[in-house]
Amino acid sequence: MDIQSLKQRFGIIGNSLALNRAIEIAIQVAPTDLTVLISGESGVGKENFPKIIHQMSARKHGNYVAINCGAIPEGTIDSELFGHEKGSFTGATDNRKGYFEVADGGTIFLDEVAELPTATQARLLRVLENKEFMKVGSSKIQKTDVRVIAATNVNLPKAIEEGKFREDLYYRLNTVPVSIPSLRERKEDILLLFRKFAADFSDKYRMPTLRLTPEAQELILSYRWKGNVRQLKNVTEQISIIEQNRLIDKETIIKYLPGSYSSRLPVLFKDPANDSINERDILYKVLFDMKRDITDLKKLVGDIMQYDDLATILKKSDTKIVKDIIQPENVDDSYTGPSDYSFSDLSDLNNQTVPQSEFRKQQFDSGYTNTEFANPQFASSEFDGTIQESEIVDESLSLQDMEVRMIKQALKKHNGKRKLAAEDLEISERTLYRKIKEYNIN
């Protein structure tokens, strides 16, 4: 069966390369009995892939059992998975078969496997390794021939590091990994999904099909879709029911997309897959620093428009750019000459004030910068009519150096107390310790 036929059979919509690759892996692994771990964000459609694997395997005539591990209370999950004997606990009035016994010869899908308690994880590991289990309240070992497919939206390596998931179980489940792309990673499928959902709801509620204006299409393409396909489907259904006008414009769809005005902006967020300081966080901090510099530039322009001469600007402006780059002490404010002062002789510039209008005119005519006018060495040199390109020394912006600097500043701020420094950096104390050891920070 080809990929397109498989998509139609299981209701998978999309043509992105990442989605097609995930389907190809599912098809290749289906004839085997290997354990499969499906990973992806919530709402991407992970539940379709275990069905594909089961239906294309030799076990397709056996039972297929899907279990949401996060929906079963911790106290009863062992009984649900492995069964129990009569009288094994209060309320156990009869023997009960567990899902692993019911699915014998077939496939069992463990959704949200990261929610399993640690004790249950040990039981599951025994099933995967030895194909055997014991019911709750029984000492009799039972065999089961079942294929296990697991899925999670949690970063399992991080859960292992935090002691919430068994490392040996992770490697046993992750025999064949299948990664499902998020909706923002397959933007070419967004409009296709919207049209499919709009058509479905049009038939369901017997109303005309929704259409989007070009501006509305651009908006939904740029939106982040944290809930992925599930969120897009819900939004489409809401609009189908509530809106009377079938042509949906940008202003209408904004009401159904929380935070859509900021959808195009880079956003600082804590990545659930990694709470350490990563390169993205550092780059965003650099961008915010650049934004502050631009604000200072705007204030400096305002000072130039307000004051009448360069010396006053240099002495009264409190912008960081003036303080760091221009040295006001090199310019004397004693000059009170006319505003039409000529700059044909630059040798006296160090002792004279430049009127604002003439300063701007001369700056644009000659290509000089503020720092050149404020530099006495430049002012005393003879101008020969040629303009030399100034050398720009670019400070190294090594991401590792910036990370080390941030860690040192946090430790110094809190007198070496790592717990407080970790809270200030918004990382775990364990991650901070690892970074200190990695970078050999004293």
**3-state per-residue secondary structure call for 87-154:** CCCCCCCCCEECHHHHCCCCEEEEECHHHCCHHHHHHHHHHHHHCEEECECCCCEEECCCEEEEEECC
Band (pLDDT 50/70/90 cuts) for residue 89 is: confident
pLDDT at position 78 is: 94
In this structure, what CATH number is given to the domain that contains residue 194? 1.10.8.60
How many Cβ atoms sit within 10 Å of the Cβ of residue 113?
A: 26
Model-level pTM greater than 0.75? no
pLDDT in tens, 148-171: 999 999 999 999 999 999 999 999
Band (pLDDT 50/70/90 cuts) for residue 371 is: very low
Domain's final residue, options 181, 203, 225: 181
| % of the chain at pLDDT higher than 90 | 54
Task: Report the candidate in 118, 120, 143, 123 with the shortest Cα–Cα distance to residue 131.
Answer: 143
The verdict on 413 and 276 lying in the same domain is yes
Residue 42 pLDDT greater than 90, yes or no: yes
pLDDT at position 346 is: 39
Q: Which domain holds residue 196?
A: 185-262
pLDDT in tens, 294-313: 887 777 777 776 665 666 66
Residue 374 pLDDT greater than 80, yes or no: no
The verdict on 136 and 168 lying in the same domain is yes
Asked if the structure places residue 24 within a domain, the reply is yes
**Maximum average pLDDT range among 251-255, 283-287, 306-310, 363-367:** 251-255
The verdict on 199 and 165 lying in the same domain is no
The verdict on 128 and 275 lying in the same domain is no
The verdict on 209 and 93 lying in the same domain is no
Range from 127-136, 235-244, 285-294, 387-396 carrying the lowest mean pLDDT:
387-396
For the segment 33-37, the average pLDDT, to the nearest whole number, is 96
Q: Higher pLDDT residue, 296 or 56?
A: 56
- Counting beta carbons within 10 angstroms of the beta carbon of residue 56, is it exposed (0 to 12), middle (13 to 18) or buried (19 or more)? middle
pLDDT at position 387 is: 44
pLDDT at position 337 is: 45
Residue 384 pLDDT greater than 90, yes or no: no
pLDDT at position 361 is: 46
Residue 382 pLDDT greater than 60, yes or no: no
Q: DSSP secondary-structure letter at 150?
A: E
Band (pLDDT 50/70/90 cuts) for residue 73 is: very high
Asked if the structure places residue 385 within a domain, the reply is no
| Alpha carbon distances (Å) from 31 to 34, 52, 108, 281 | 9, 11, 15, 43
Q: Higher pLDDT residue, 125 or 399?
A: 125
For the segment 387-402, the average pLDDT, to the nearest whole number, is 54
Asked if the structure places residue 390 within a domain, the reply is no
Q: DSSP secondary-structure letter at 181?
A: P
Band (pLDDT 50/70/90 cuts) for residue 217 is: very high
In this structure, what CATH number is given to the domain that contains residue 276? 1.10.10
The verdict on 195 and 313 lying in the same domain is no
Asked if the structure places residue 358 within a domain, the reply is yes
The verdict on 243 and 316 lying in the same domain is no
Band (pLDDT 50/70/90 cuts) for residue 410 is: confident
The verdict on 258 and 272 lying in the same domain is no
Per-chain mean pLDDT for the chain: 80
pLDDT at position 401 is: 80
pLDDT at position 369 is: 45
In this structure, what CATH number is given to the domain that contains residue 172? 3.40.50.300
| Alpha carbon distances (Å) from 236 to 15, 48, 205 | 20, 21, 13
pLDDT at position 324 is: 58
The verdict on 431 and 341 lying in the same domain is no
pLDDT at position 315 is: 63
Asked if the structure places residue 250 within a domain, the reply is yes
**What is the count of structural domains for the chain?**
4
Residue 398 pLDDT greater than 90, yes or no: no
Range from 41-50, 316-325, 425-434 carrying the lowest mean pLDDT:
316-325
pLDDT at position 113 is: 97
Band (pLDDT 50/70/90 cuts) for residue 395 is: very low
Domain's final residue, options 181, 205, 239: 181
The verdict on 332 and 434 lying in the same domain is no
pLDDT at position 289 is: 77
Residue 167 CA, chain-centre distance (Å), reads 25
Range from 28-42, 121-135, 281-295 carrying the lowest mean pLDDT:
281-295
pLDDT in tens, 187-203: 999 999 999 999 999 99
Asked if the structure places residue 8 within a domain, the reply is yes
Asked if the structure places residue 101 within a domain, the reply is yes
pLDDT at position 60 is: 95
- Counting beta carbons within 10 angstroms of the beta carbon of residue 179, is it exposed (0 to 12), middle (13 to 18) or buried (19 or more)? middle
Residue 403 pLDDT greater than 90, yes or no: no
Asked if the structure places residue 370 within a domain, the reply is yes
The verdict on 250 and 193 lying in the same domain is yes
Band (pLDDT 50/70/90 cuts) for residue 319 is: low
The verdict on 218 and 329 lying in the same domain is no
pLDDT at position 150 is: 98
| % of the chain at pLDDT higher than 70 | 73
